Structure 1
Amino acid sequence: MACSARLGGVTALQAAGVGGLTDTAIHVWVTKSTRKGMPTTAPNVVLHESRRWGVDDATSVGIPRAKPGVAAVQAALWSRTVREASLMLVLPVQQRVVTADHLIEIFDRVHRHEFRTVLRQVLEDIRAGSHSMNELDFVNMCRAHGIPAPAQQVARHGPDGRIYLDCRWEGSGVTLEIQGAGHGQLLNTLDDDLRLLGLATDGDVALSVSVLTLRVDAARWFQRFGELLRVRGASVPTLRPAG
């Protein structure tokens, strides 16, 4: 183990400076069959044996550990749920530790895993602009309700410089801000309100929706939102009235 053991997964992401990860176990990846003959492991250490990763996937300086992109993919593959795995992929991109393109390049080396198909779509959504779990969830909800997926993190020039829009349906002129937990602070809410007012002045239909609304009454919200998109010229199926 001493020769091939390296920090991996969540632990390597934490070492790379990714915040928001609460796992306190120490994840170590080793070459296959390293565990043979080992009487025990240290407390709080989780060993992951694999032939998938090689010496080029580890850092060459400092504490031996997986490179950030490899660590993110490892953490996703070692997760217990798809949602947890998605978080492992979105956080390092959101925090600009790695790019979505780099994660896709690494992930495409994975040929067999129970989460592979859904995580590949998650990575495409991240590359398209979903840089938070709320945004990933919203895109999935759009698909489930027959709403075309929006362009995300669309750059525009505002009065105070460049701004980025959470969601925009380009052909319909509809813009949407997703109000998550981070938007609850006064200054963030004020920024969002001013941005939406500016877009409305320029001719957009500019809306916001809270994650609470989507959790409590998504069916009725998407029914009304689909009606709006149809009025604006989008091809959206008519949804059955909710409730």
Structure 2
Amino acid sequence: MNQERSTAATKTDDDPEVARRARTRARQDLARGAAESSGSVVSRTLLRDAGLSYLDIRSEVAAGRWRTHGLQTVALHSGDLTVEEHRWRIVWETGGDIAAIDGATALQAAGLRAYTEDQIHVSVVHRCTVKKVAGSRLHKVVRRLPDELVGAGLPRTKSPVAALRGAYWAASDRQAALILLMTVQQRLATPDQLLSWSKRLRGRKRRGFIRDVVGYLGDGVQSLGELDFARLCRARGLPEPTRQALVEGTRGRMYLDVRWDAHRLVVEIDGVQHREGLQVSADNLGRNEVTLRDDRVLRIDLIGLRLHEDEFMDQVARGLSVA
């Protein structure tokens, strides 16, 4: 009986097919361990550190079990890459441990919803020499702050950093404001965090604009003093309005941001807090009360006024001329 077992073991050891399957299982186990934090993609460097050789990788690729995506990225499957796997690929193909997902892409990785961006944004320190990778947009930053990256998972910047850089890199002021606004609205960063990080990060363009928008996000309606709506009216030759006009309503006293008593025209300036939660209902009740008194109400949001000053002030002028 013992002799029969010994003979069977010898046949197993000598069977090339059995040995091949054992090597395949060993490779796949090592590769899965190397890709533990990145899903089903891994870099050649990590595979090498895990004990796999160039020949091991080539064998798995030739067998159709794995697939390469560039010079550094290996997928442990033969299908198309997911969005998350594409982000890992961009990091490895750009520069491995010196590259990080940044800007709007880092916000999307953190959970930003309803924002579409065709390219994957990646940043490296300006002194690094790296190659541009198809499907990505490479940004060189002056320096990498010690605490700007998240601690685990996909190498990416923290949301306040990503939002500010995304605003600096945006194609237009409108896109920059949208990135900052959505970041705060979806609670990926607070206005205070944006303000704090903005003192440490310096972009090459629209610095003043971003400073204003961050101020609006933090102060809401109080930043109307910075915007100086009365100054805009004077520049247009419009009559001086009454600010914070007090009126009595069925729900008690309420303040109107701007009102021309003789023209029965009201302008309400919406800060960010007007877009969230129950504040919307309270504001609508107040506006409806004013409208029922035969006053006309124009709604202007602070960021919209910053982006579309001429169009909004044209509407105010038309409202006064109609009256």
TM-score by length of 2: 0.48
| 1:91 alignment counterpart | 182
Query: How is 1:49-198 mapped onto 2 (pairs within 5 angstroms)?
Result: 49-111=140-202, 113-129=204-220, 144-146=232-234, 168-169=257-258, 176=268, 194-198=285-289
Could you give the per-residue CA deviations for residues 154-186 of structure 1, whole angstroms, max 9, x where no partner exists? xxxx98xxxxx9x7359x9x67377xxxx9xxx
* Structure having the higher Rg: 2
Matches within 5 A, 1:191-206: 194-198=285-289
User: Offset of 1:100 from its aligned partner?
Assistant: 1.1
| 1:105, distance to aligned residue in structure 2 (A) | 1.1
Q: Percent identity?
A: 26
**Superposed displacement of residue 103, structure 1:** 0.5
For 1:145, the aligned partner's letter is C
Cα shift at 1:80: 2.4
SS in 2 for 1:21: coil
Q: CA deviation at 1:56?
A: 1.0
Counterpart Cα distance in 2 of 1:45 and 1:140: 41
TM superposition shift of 1:65: 0.5
Question: Are the aligned partners of 1:196 and 1:206 in contact in 2 as well (CA < 8 Å)?
Answer: no
More relative contact order, 1 or 2 (CA 8 Å, 6+ apart): 1
- Relative distance call for 1:127 and 1:68 in structure 2 (3 A) is same
1:113 positional shift: 2.5
1:237 alignment counterpart:
none
Residue in structure 2 matched with residue 236 of structure 1 by the alignment: none
What is the aligned partner in structure 2 of residue 207 from structure 1?
A: 297
Tell me the equivalent position of 2:16. Answer: none
Q: How far is 1:107 from its partner?
A: 1.0
Q: How far apart are 1:219 and its partner, in Å?
A: 4.5
Map of 2:117 onto structure 1: 23
Instruction: Give distance in 2, aligned partners of 1:101 and 1:47.
Output: 28
Q: Structure 1 residue 143: deviation in Å?
A: 5.6
Q: Deviations over 1:129-158 (max 9, x none)?
A: 27xxxxx9xx6977633478x88xxxxxx9
Aligned length: 193
Q: 1:12 to 1:115 in 2, by over 3 A?
A: same
Measure how far apart 1:55 and its partner are: 3.6
Distance 2:125 2:166 in 1: 17
2:97 counterpart of 1:3: yes
Residues 34-92 of structure 1: per-residue CA shift (max 9 Å, x gap): 2x2x4x43211111111333241000011111000000011011112222222221110
User: Does the Cα contact within 8 Å between 2:300 and 2:312 map onto a contact in 1?
Assistant: no
Distance in 2, matches of 1:103 and 1:110, equals 10
SS at match of 1:49: strand
Residues 215 and 129 from structure 1, CA distance in 2 versus in 1: closer, same or farther, beyond 3 angstroms? closer
